[in-house]
Amino acid sequence: MGTFIALIGLLLATVIVAAVGERTGIPWPALLTIVVAPVIFIPGIDTVSIDTHLILPIFLPPLLWSLARRTSWGQIGSQLNVVLTMSVILVFLTIAALTATAMWILPGVSLATAMVLAAAIAPPDPVAVDAVAGPAGIPKRITGTLQTEGLFNDAASIVTFNIAMAAVIAEGEVDFTKGFIEFLYAAAVAVVVGLIVGRLAALFANSVPDSVIRTAFTWVLPFAIYAGCEAIHASGVIAIVIAAVELSSRSTMTAEDRLTGHSFWETVELLFTGVAFGLIGMSVRDAIDTAGTYIWPAVQVGVVLSVVAFVVRLAWMWVLYKLNVRKGRKHVSPLRLQEVLLMAWSGMRGLVTLALVLAIPPSATEYHHELSVIALTVLTCTMVIPGLMLPWLVRKMDLQKGPEADRAIEELNQRAYAAAHKAVREHGEEHAPEAYTMVQEWLNSITEQRLQDPESTDERMAAFERARESAIEMQKVALKAASSELHRARRERQYNPADVDAVQADLDRLIVASKRNVLARPSQMVKWES
């Protein structure tokens, strides 16, 4: 009962802290961790107890799915270099640097044990990056690159962690050749599984008329994918991402589906992220109790490892900046020196790091008591402190005036409504002239962001009534054309899917509203002062 009450309290705290974060501009996950950590020291306050081996299977699938459904094949295609250079190469470089550092500052630790700790700390957490970096006001081009990195980098670290852990348990040497082969196997099989499951899921979703069932299906699917991939030793992380993108690209969702699905997954992401970061805060008490007198040496180790991880990431971001500028890339980051610092600062560790560290068995290393403190110190140095400072850093670097300050939203709006106008012109002759005129006026009122106030004469009212049914059909044609154009734009590399989704959401509201009341009567129209 105590655990249940603690969980409910954590969910309530998530909602309250998220509201405070929205009002103050402070990234709420970092704020939640800070709030929860001291509260759990109050006598009588229970913590949420979850088997360490269940943390990733419970939290990672829905959060990864929620993040992956926002991206597209176009964005992934435009950022394949990000997947290779940041999600793979940077992770392995970080593991190598952290392994060497751990062997240097932890006397007597074996190579395999050091690699276990390094693999747990190496990957920035996509959940942490999305939850903290997004509210901080980081431009979408940069967050798009960070999210692409985060969606795939867990695969390299988890495979490395498992290989090193097997060597630790067997008290043998790390087989790097075997590890490399297993990594390729895990990634390749995951891609195949993701594509197959995504296509089959799209066929199922398209054949089910009930939106509630479709939404429930997408909720269950990521857990099934993760469990299935773990059973065949494939990467559940990669499979979930691929399946989510494939499903999104092939499903024929209605406006209601998009709006309700967006609301549903926003709620899921909020609550699951809150519980995940709350668990990080709740781990503080157990970590301190476990470490005992070794707490301060463990904190020092955590600080050193955090600094090394930051330096490696900073150096690599500088290398990528030089490569991006030399090759003239426009849709990836970093493109300026300010972005090098920002992206290095945004290398936040989170749930994955905590779960992997807690999954290390006590017999694996003599430093087991210190591991939890080391992990929490890394989380504090790489997630909590940067999260609190990110809004200030973004303002100081004035990133909105850089190349990322494009006009994507405006351009997408123009494309959508240009398609709507074209459809009306092409099909206008199929309907009454009054309907054609009215829909043209309706489109103009939207594109110009103001409503016209026609004269409410008897003739005009009569024409309105005669044209009402034809106007309904014309409006459907226009909105369908605009939505189709945005669907095509979402597959193109030059647009961030988040920008397309923002314009699509506005269009979906018009589509839903049109089914209730197509056009307001002239007497109901409001004149906007321009």
CB atoms within 10 A of CB 429: 8
pLDDT tens-place string over residues 302-320:
999 999 999 999 999 999 9
How far apart (Å, rounded) are the C-alpha atoms in residues 167 and 284? 29
Alpha-carbon torsion angle 151, 153, 154, 158, nearest 10: 160
505, 483 contact by CB (below 8 A) = no
Q: What angle do CA 363, 364, 366 make, to 5 degrees?
A: 80
Residue 170, CA distances (Å) to 56, 166, 167, 175, 326 in order: 24, 6, 5, 12, 47
pLDDT tens-place string over residues 213-248:
888 999 999 999 999 999 999 999 999 999 999 998
Alpha-carbon torsion angle 516, 522, 523, 529, nearest 10: 110
pLDDT tens-place string over residues 310-346:
999 999 999 999 998 888 877 778 888 888 999 999 8
Residue that the structure tokens 């992401």 belong to: 269
Structure tokens at 437: 């005129």
pLDDT band at 519 (very low <50, low <70, confident <90, very high): very low
Nearest to 184 by CA among 142, 245, 234: 234
Helix (H, G, I), strand (E, B) or coil at 61: helix
How far apart (Å, rounded) are the C-alpha atoms in residues 165 and 177? 15
DSSP code of residue 399: G
Q: What angle do CA 87, 88, 93 make, to 5 degrees?
A: 110
374, 118 contact by CB (below 8 A) = no
454: left (phi over 0), alpha (psi -120 to 50) or beta: beta
Structure tokens at 249: 């690209």
Quick one: how many helices (H) and strands (E) in the chain? 22, 0
Helix H or strand E encompassing 257: helix 255-291
Residue that the structure tokens 């939203």 belong to: 409
How far apart (Å, rounded) are the C-alpha atoms in residues 225 and 229? 6
Domain ranges in the chain? Answer: 2-398, 408-524
pLDDT band at 188 (very low <50, low <70, confident <90, very high): very high
Question: What is the residue type of 287?
Answer: A
pLDDT tens-place string over residues 279-300:
777 777 777 777 666 788 889 9
pLDDT tens-place string over residues 335-390:
888 889 999 998 888 878 888 888 888 777 787 778 888 888 898 898 888 888 88
- Please give the pLDDT value at position 235: 92
Q: What are phi and psi of 497, to 5 degrees?
A: -55, -30
Residues 6+ apart with CB under 8 A from 200: none
- Please give the pLDDT value at position 314: 96
The CATH architecture that domain 2-398 belongs to is Up-down Bundle (1.20)
- The model's pTM is 0.77
How far apart (Å, rounded) are the C-alpha atoms in residues 350 and 345? 14
How far apart (Å, rounded) are the C-alpha atoms in residues 128 and 56? 14
Helix (H, G, I), strand (E, B) or coil at 361: coil
Select the more confidently predicted residue: 128 or 85.
85
235, 123 contact by CB (below 8 A) = no
427, 477 contact by CB (below 8 A) = yes
How far apart (Å, rounded) are the C-alpha atoms in residues 371 and 354? 10
How far apart (Å, rounded) are the C-alpha atoms in residues 32 and 13? 8
Residue 139, CA distances (Å) to 22, 178, 367, 397 in order: 17, 40, 41, 12
